[in-house]
Structure 1
């Protein structure tokens, strides 16, 4: 259950990171509110996951999920350019996060 919570918290990290960019320095209300709600829920999920998982592993996985999804969303929506190297590096993050999960299971 901790891994599912951590996955959801990582997704929420991508939500708040994206909302932060769209808030234009907290001058736009809707993205600012989404940022605050997603940030709080993401942190609560990370904190809950660290009850079972080592904090170092949970944090690395949380950041990796959030960073990968944030970059992928930006490339898909066209707000950031896509390139083969960028995609390869994001895939590398995903492989490393998966590796941390597998190693933690053993």
Structure 2
């Protein structure tokens, strides 16, 4: 199976993003730049956890919002599979009966 240029570009981008995230996470684990290993209280650890989840949550909300906007504003997607099946049956009927 050969990939198109766009697909190859997407795969290269995904690979470089994955490599970059592995390097950044590894560096954060090894060097501990904010000295989180010195935190001993559970409340402080939970505060760090909560703050670290804010940015991924915002990105997830934005991506779901964009997907929902596209899904509900495009009429063909909104009509679903039934619409496409009806269109296919109509096309087959036109071809079979030679209706222009």
Normalised-by-shorter TM-score class: 0.3 to 0.5
Structure-1-length-normalised TM-score: 0.36
Structure-2-length-normalised TM-score: 0.37
Q: Which has the higher contact order (CA 8 A, sep 6+)?
A: 1
